[in-house]
Structure 1
Amino acid sequence: MSANPPANPPAGPPASLARRLGTGDAVAIGLGSMLGAGVFAAFAPAAAAAGAGLLAGLAVAAVVAWCNATSSAQLAVQHPAAGGTYVYGREQLGEWWGFLAGWGFVVGKTASCAAMALVVAAYAAPPGWERPVAVAAVTALAAVNYRGITRTARLTKVLLVVVLLALAVVVAAGLGGTGERAGTASWDLTAGGWYGTLQAAGLLFFAFAGYARIATLAEEVRDPSRTLPRAVLGALAGAAVVYAAVGTTALLVLGPDRLAASSAPLVDVVDAAGWGWAEVLVRAGATAGALGALLALVAGVGRTTMAMARGGDLPGALAAVHPRHRVPHRAEVAVAVVVVVVVLSVDVRGAIGFSSFGVLLYYLVANLAAWTQTGQHRRWPRPVQALGAAGCVVLVVTLPPASVLAGVAVFAVGIAYRLVLMRRRRASSSGSASAASSHTQASQGPTSRR
């Protein structure tokens, strides 16, 4: 008998998820997450932080995201299981590192889910009905995810087409419209200073984090050694091009000050350019983009929650996989419930900063884990991971102070939770060992008297 048996030994190996996704499916999920997550929401706070310097911030965010993407792809090939950096951190660095990554992802992306639901409501709901509509969006998309990952991929592709069409109209209006433009005369690329530029980069990093959903779906893609690197880098490259085009257009038409003050900047772009007729299409694209991001976010957070439950860092009941739909149904329901609670208590801009805090720490662990890989598992040189890790630290500390304080507090809660959980496990293991020893002595007693 083992001296330290697990507190809750599993009845058998955990049920696996079905490998049903190809490269196109994975790229669509990543692009749908990135475009919906940032293009309709992140430019305004970035402009408030850095003015026209948000373009430099966008470049910084893209470089850090590329470093993180290569680390994620390299790790996902070696560890093609659901859970992303939670799994990579555990396998490469130790259980505590895995827990910190998983906790950062779950809490950060829960905030992202709430932000995207609120964006849906801001563009689609009548005044006064924003939060009920946001709750309805979360509930409906959780139901879609519950039915299976292939349905998630199909719906994400449809939403992505609508988003790309709307963004193409925005760029065409900005470049070819007849309205008045701010031009480049008001641009001061140094208005925010280095701190403002880095803060804008940290906020815009929120927009690039969609490729994390590809890694968390590693247990559901076909031929992961080929699919994952292609999907991660392809989705990131596509998003970077779209963001650069849309961000430049918004600055040209609105100027830094008006962009910073806008609650619906891309709608304001088409209106200012004289294409008011296109407002309905842009609002539809914003709604579709936010819905696509929310759809993929709920899927990714649910799978990381399942992985943490498998590892014993969250309640074991959340590790269940639905026998028919092959999805982590209990984890997804739990995530949806928490997101609804957050929707009722946050605003979009605060959620973006808090999400960036959690996700940047998640990728810090990913870069450190990729640094330890050797031999055939290494696809990119270690300086790439060093740059990615340093970039994550710099962007975290330059986020808005309120986001940093909230993030530190939530991480402290997570650490305290795991310490209590570990103490209970040790007590349970000690009690089990003591009971086993007493049972052995009792069974040997009559034999010794004979």
Structure 2
Amino acid sequence: MPPLHRRLTTADAVVIGLGSMIGAGLFSAFAPAAAAAGSALLVGLLLAAVVAFCNASSSAALAALHPAAGGTYVYGRERLGPLWGFLAGWGFVIGKTASCAAMALTAAEYLVPDHAGPVAAVFAAALGAVNCAGITRTARLARVLLALTLAALAASLLAVWLGGASAPASALPPAPLGVPQAAGLLFFAFAGYARIATLGEEVRDPERTIPRAIPLALGIVVCLYVVVGSTLLVALGPRLATSSAPLADAVRAGDLPQLAPFAVVGAGVAALGALLALLAGVGRTTLAMAREGDLPAPLAAVHPRFATPHRADLLVTAAVVVLVLLVDLRGAIGFSSFGVLVYYAIANAAALTLRPDQRWFPRVLPALGLAGCAVLALTLPWTSVLAGLTCFAVGTTLRTWHHRRAR
């Protein structure tokens, strides 16, 4: 099979990771997390960040040793066996396809709320076309969307702070038992650094670039999320748990409601940036699985001109278009979190097999990440857990049938 081309720099990788994480959580995950944990939302955020740090360390070390497209699908196959690799890849594909639908719907609900479904389908199709046209075009557009997002976010936060919006802290009581579920939902937001690893075959000098880019992108986003989460709790109080547009509602609650359009546009652009990076990651994992025979072989094709997995990208884009017309946003977030937590649990299990000279962290870190992923996955809403387990059972059954038929 023809290889992909190494075109991405460290800055490109960081931008793609930031675009995934900023859009994925700032404008969509805080409300369901607040509904679960109440004013203990920040505790759930920090718990999710700790688990994400463990996962990021494992992913960075593994990516430096196995710099191929596919991320944990490749690491699981190489270090644990083909079945574990398949489970990781399948979890990523189904989980992140749901994330793509969530991001397309988030963008549409902010920008064109009266026609969210059809507009989300158009967004998905347009960005899918950009991905098919080459990874450098994806990186360039990701830079533009990230710059617009950060500018709009800065304007929105200033409007909230200067507008003096505040709600009584006691109005949203803490719910300690809901902290793990809040962390599981917020983990959906941090998982964007996986885009850097799944693009490993297109990164220059991956042994140095990936271990730098992953922790850098994650650290920036954790700081940003703490600032935004604190601001929303102070500004909205109990309204945060039910808000469909928390940052815009926080601006409107203050003395500068005329600046709310910045939050609306910023949210829409951020979600589009996340969608762009997500589509690229899912397409590369699909390519890797097709190369190994875990998905149909035609999906391993690489475009002779654009050097992209165009068939895999087109299939993923088509699946997202269908999903946005069928699912709701909160259901997509929970389902996505379950699939991705399984993916990272396998990444941590693979990292446990590394020798001391192959990692720069103690062995307890991936063990903590593995346990954290398991706990967060099982504390998600039961509907998300049930749907996720069903999809894994279906995928494993189809793989077994396909391999027996091939033999």
Give secondary structure in 2 for the equivalent of 1:209: helix
Shift of 1:378: 2.0
Match for residue 358 of structure 2 among 348, 372, 377: 377
1:90-239 matched pairs, under 5 angstroms:
90-127=77-114, 129-178=115-164, 180-188=165-173, 191-194=174-177, 196-239=178-221
What are structure 2's unaligned runs of at least 5 residues? Answer: none
Match for residue 301 of structure 1 among 282, 290, 315: 282
**Amino acid aligned to 1:403:** S
C-alpha separation between the residues in 1 aligned to 2:19 and 2:259? Answer: 22
Match for residue 284 of structure 1 among 265, 269, 279: 265
Give secondary structure in 1 for the equivalent of 2:366: helix
C-alpha separation between the residues in 1 aligned to 2:389 and 2:40? Answer: 28
Q: RMSD in angstroms over aligned alpha carbons?
A: 1.0
| Structure with the greater alpha carbon radius of gyration | 1
Match for residue 5 of structure 2 among 18, 22, 26: 18
Deviations 1:123-161 (A, max 9, x none): 11151x111100100010011111100111111111111
Segment drifting more, 69-78 vs 340-349: 340-349
Large movers: runs of 4+ above 6 Å: none
Shift of 1:91: 0.2
Tell me, yes or no, if structure 1 residue 251 matches structure 2 residue 229. Answer: no
C-alpha separation between the residues in 1 aligned to 2:223 and 2:305? Answer: 39
Tell me, yes or no, if structure 1 residue 31 matches structure 2 residue 14. Answer: no
Deviations 1:49-77 (A, max 9, x none): 01111100000000000000000000000
C-alpha separation between the residues in 1 aligned to 2:222 and 2:113? Answer: 32
C-alpha separation between the residues in 1 aligned to 2:309 and 2:292? Answer: 14
What are structure 1's unaligned runs of at least 5 residues? Answer: 1-13, 427-450
Aligned length: 407
Shift of 1:269: 0.6
Tell me, yes or no, if structure 1 residue 403 matches structure 2 residue 389. Answer: no
Matched-pair contact (CA < 8 Å) for 2:76–2:85 = yes
Matched-pair contact (CA < 8 Å) for 1:167–1:246 = no
- TM-score of the two chains, using structure 1 as the length reference: 0.89
Matched-pair contact (CA < 8 Å) for 2:338–2:385 = yes
C-alpha separation between the residues in 2 aligned to 1:273 and 1:165? Answer: 20
Matched-pair contact (CA < 8 Å) for 1:113–1:339 = yes
C-alpha separation between the residues in 1 aligned to 2:73 and 2:145? Answer: 29
State the identity as a percent: 62
Partner of 1:8: none
C-alpha separation between the residues in 1 aligned to 2:406 and 2:19? Answer: 41
C-alpha separation between the residues in 2 aligned to 1:375 and 1:262? Answer: 47
Partner of 2:303: 322
**Amino acid aligned to 2:141:** L
Matched-pair contact (CA < 8 Å) for 1:171–1:245 = no
Deviations 1:87-106 (A, max 9, x none): 00000000000000000000
C-alpha separation between the residues in 2 aligned to 1:381 and 1:107? Answer: 31
C-alpha separation between the residues in 1 aligned to 2:113 and 2:67? Answer: 44
- TM-score of the two chains, using structure 2 as the length reference: 0.98
Shift of 1:187: 4.7
Shift of 1:419: 1.2
Matched-pair contact (CA < 8 Å) for 1:36–1:290 = yes
Give secondary structure in 1 for the equivalent of 2:8: coil
Shift of 1:276: 1.5
Partner of 2:44: 57
